[in-house]
Amino acid sequence: MASEQREKIIRFYKGTEGEETVVKLVDLAEAVQRSQKFRLSGFLDPYEQEIAETVAANYEQLRVDFDGGYPGAERARAMFVHTAFPGTPTGFDLACVEARWQAQFARLSHRDVLGALLSLGIERSCLGDLLVSNDRVKIVCVRKMADYLLQNLTRIGAAGVEVQETGLDTIAPKEERCKEIRATVASLRVDSIAASGFGCSRSRAASDIAADKMKLNWQPVKNAAQNVKAGDVLSLRGRGRLEVAEVRGQTKKGRTVVVLKRYL
């Protein structure tokens, strides 16, 4: 029965961006069922967190909790816990490392920071949110990575950095600015919605899709002609996120009325 359950879940995600993730999460879930204790995943993006919830829902006496280190975190670790476990899980094993640079000499982006960290041989699953501001970045990571970063992270891009460990409680809850956009579109194609929400032409949106800069529900957009629906989330590298809040009726000219929320 367990084998059939495993194959059923993995088959559902076969051929998708979540195929590799679901195998790892099913392995964790089954380990928890055998031990009747708990296990932690690496950091998961929102799409992968949905996979974790699906896995937990398909196994009896299993629940899943998430923690990304601070309220509103996008990336988070999943903890599978057996309901028969009598104790209290020891926690999500998280840390926060802060790197500072001289802002007058360098302007660093999220991409610069991530590139520097990956170049150190750190796996993405060991890294949570990277909170970049004018002269510093707070790096949420698994606890075992904190000392490694303190010893090895000396530069980001061309800028030298000073690194120290700080408490997770120094991270302010994420406050996103949101702009509501009401628009009429020719269709619910992803390039049409992106053009209205991000304020660009459809051809530019199609170019961003071709350049792998756009994601739909945290998965790469494969085709500009792909349709979206209410509740879907588009993200464009360097431009933020766009939620399809509502899909309303059509105008007399056959265009579709949509309400979009642009997060800046």
CA distance 58 to 74: 24
The answer to whether 56 touches 64, Cβ cutoff 8 Å, is yes
The answer to whether 85 touches 38, Cβ cutoff 8 Å, is yes
The answer to whether 70 touches 174, Cβ cutoff 8 Å, is yes
| Per-residue pLDDT reduced to its tens digit, 88-136 | 898 999 999 999 999 888 889 999 999 999 999 999 999 999 999 999 9
Beta-strand ranges (E) seen in the chain are 38-44, 62-67, 76-82, 94-100, 127-132, 136-142, 155-156, 159-160, 162-166, 178-185, 214-216, 219-220, 233-236, 240-250, 256-263
- Say if residue 1's pLDDT is above 60: no
Q: Strand 159-160 and strand 136-142: pairing?
A: unpaired
Q: What percent of the chain has pLDDT over 90?
A: 77
- The arithmetic mean of pLDDT across residues 62-67, rounded, is 96
**For residue 70, which phi and psi values (nearest 5 degrees)?**
-160, 160
Mean pLDDT of the chain: 92
CA distance 123 to 227: 33
Q: What is the pLDDT of residue 91?
A: 92
Q: What percent of the chain has pLDDT over 70?
A: 98
Rg value, the chain, Cα: 21
Look up tokens 């194609």; give the residue.
189
The answer to whether 6 touches 30, Cβ cutoff 8 Å, is yes
Q: What is the pLDDT of residue 88?
A: 87
Q: What is the pLDDT of residue 16?
A: 83
| Per-residue pLDDT reduced to its tens digit, 139-166 | 999 999 999 999 999 999 989 999 999 9
| Per-residue pLDDT reduced to its tens digit, 132-143 | 999 999 999 999
- Say if residue 4's pLDDT is above 90: no
Q: What is the pLDDT of residue 142?
A: 98
CA-nearest of 236, 220, 224 to 192 is 224
Q: What is the pLDDT of residue 202?
A: 92
- Say if residue 9's pLDDT is above 80: yes
| Per-residue pLDDT reduced to its tens digit, 17-51 | 889 999 999 999 999 999 999 999 999 999 999 99
Segment (H or E) for 108: none
Q: Which two tokens stand for residue 248?
A: 């309303």
CA-nearest of 151, 22, 131 to 75 is 131
Q: Strand 159-160 and strand 219-220: pairing?
A: unpaired
Bridge partners of 256?
185, 250
Beta carbons within 8 Å of 28's beta carbon, 6+ residues apart:
39, 40, 41, 78, 80
Q: What is the pLDDT of residue 226?
A: 93
More confident residue, 5 or 67: 67
Q: What is the pLDDT of residue 2?
A: 61
CA distance 195 to 189: 10
| Per-residue pLDDT reduced to its tens digit, 171-204 | 987 777 789 999 999 999 999 999 999 999 999 9
Q: What is the pLDDT of residue 69?
A: 96
